[in-house]
A and B are shown apart, each in its own frame.
Chain A
Amino acid sequence: METKTKKRVLVTKSDQDAHEVSVRYLTQLLRDKGMEVIFTRYAIIDEVVKTAMEEDVDVIAMSFYSSGLMYDTTRLMELLKEQGLKDDIKVIIGGTISDQEKKELLQMGVDDVFMPGMGTLLDVVECVNC
């Protein structure tokens, strides 16, 4: 029997970042939408690329509620390009992000940026799913 293709999503955050409630909730929402969600905390951003590659994910969703946003994302996008994964994987960033940072993130190739007060987690789910 043919099995339907399932969307695979990597939801991840730095292990330095204590804020986990919203990402936890997001993973549940995504799972309830029928997706396979891999959840990790990373010590260094390079792990995210290794995980994304091995797990063959369609989407990486990262959350930042403390420092590291620009550094980690820059490195992530670099590594994805280096590995030829950039065009195959959608990158979504959420958290406390300024307008200026958002602009820079989009410029470096991030597909979408979500800030608090800008809709709900359901919008994020929508974005992951399309």
Chain B
Amino acid sequence: MKSEQKSSADLVKELLGGSVRAAARLITLVEQNDSKVPEIMRQIYPHSGNAYVIGFTGAPGAGKSTLVGKLAKLLDQKGKKVAIIAVDPSSPFTGGALLGDRIRMMEDVGVKKNVFIRSLGSRGEMGGLSEATYRVANVLDAFGKEYIFVETVGTGQAEVEVTKLADSVVVVLSPGMGDEIQTLKAGTMEIGDIVVLNKADQNGADAIASSLQTALHWAVKHDTWTPTLVKTIALKEEGIEELWEKIELHKDHLVNSGQLRIRREKRIRIEICKLMKDKILRYLNKFTGESPVFEQGIKEISIENKNPCQQSEVLLESFLSYLKQGGQG
């Protein structure tokens, strides 16, 4: 057992006081979907809303972790407070995960740097993004981080997922990834706000870059922003400054056009729906687990041969009145 007996109020107080330990513990709690989550969120919410969230997505091996590490180093040098959330897929069978993104980052954001890195397993979420990622970002926001980078493995779907979470989305490609680039060129994929062609040191990079450039003009647009292309060599720290300039331009665009608020409202909508769903499910589990009415309903199906469909309607009515009574009776 860890010294996790601390109340969430104490942990939040320590978080606001700058304790890395408290931040890490709170992240674990919100990620586990602990029953304390609503309480924690209530306490940290007044202190969040200041961070700018940037999502990085793309196929494994494109260089996302390396790139994110270099960018974090640059921002740290500029005196900005940065956190990184690195999401890797969990095994659908065992729930276990190998979280290896830190390896590419530590060199750049080692002990002396003020960059907080947290690795998460996707825990079976479709888009490679754990649902809890939103809440983890909220904790880091309340912790005072100004920029939060979220790295996720892109599987087509994940790009959409990360859009829901991030203010700016950066799609990372590399010349070796023919398929991805073909889809992008075909214009069938909703793409990021910024497209990075990393590994620009590799063969064929220039040709790919120019065809990508053309493709971007035809891309599906979210608003008046035209997605921009940046070439980088993350490994040699080339193009990082330029990438940062582009991200800042996009940020300014979102702020000035009012799009930032719209994007964030989308995010809030998702989070609220999730909270409501969680609460209903919790009550439903309680109802099916302890209500004699429910037990009786099951018996009536098995013994009296009642129709399960009809019976579920009847039980749903009982559940709704059970809900109205605050989960009693």
| B98 CB contacts on chain A under 8 angstroms | 27-28, 31, 37, 39
Minimum C-beta distance from A24 to chain B (A): 10
Minimum C-beta distance from B304 to chain A (A): 32
Among the 9-residue stretches B22-30, B42-50, B295-303, B308-316, the one with 4 or more Cβ atoms under 8 Å from chain A is: B22-30
Query: Are B111 and A54 neighbours in the complex by a CB distance under 8 Å?
Result: no
- The answer to whether the Cβ of A43 comes within 8 Å of any Cβ in the partner chain is yes
Minimum C-beta distance from B210 to chain A (A): 38
Among the 9-residue stretches B89-97, B178-186, B188-196, B228-236, the one with 4 or more Cβ atoms under 8 Å from chain A is: B89-97
Minimum C-beta distance from A37 to chain B (A): 5
What 1/0 mask marks residues of chain B from 66 to 105 whose CB sits below 8 Å from any chain A CB? 0000000000000000000000001100111111101100
Query: Are B97 and A31 neighbours in the complex by a CB distance under 8 Å?
Result: yes
What 1/0 mask marks residues of chain B from 108 to 123 whose CB sits below 8 Å from any chain A CB? 0011000011110101
- The answer to whether the Cβ of A66 comes within 8 Å of any Cβ in the partner chain is no
| A72 CB contacts on chain B under 8 angstroms | none
Query: Are A3 and B123 neighbours in the complex by a CB distance under 8 Å?
Result: yes
In chain A, positions 81-112 with a C-beta closer than 8 Å to chain B are 83-85, 87-88
Minimum C-beta distance from A104 to chain B (A): 26
Most buried by B among A34, A50, A53: A50
- The answer to whether the Cβ of A17 comes within 8 Å of any Cβ in the partner chain is no
- 12 A-B interface contacts by CB (under 8 A): A1-B281, A3-B33, A5-B32, A32-B91, A32-B94, A34-B95, A38-B100, A39-B103, A41-B106, A43-B106, A55-B119, A88-B3
- B interface residues, Cβ below 8 angstroms from A: 2-3, 20-21, 23-25, 27-28, 31-33, 35, 90-91, 94-100, 102-103, 106-107, 110-111, 116-119, 121, 123, 278, 281
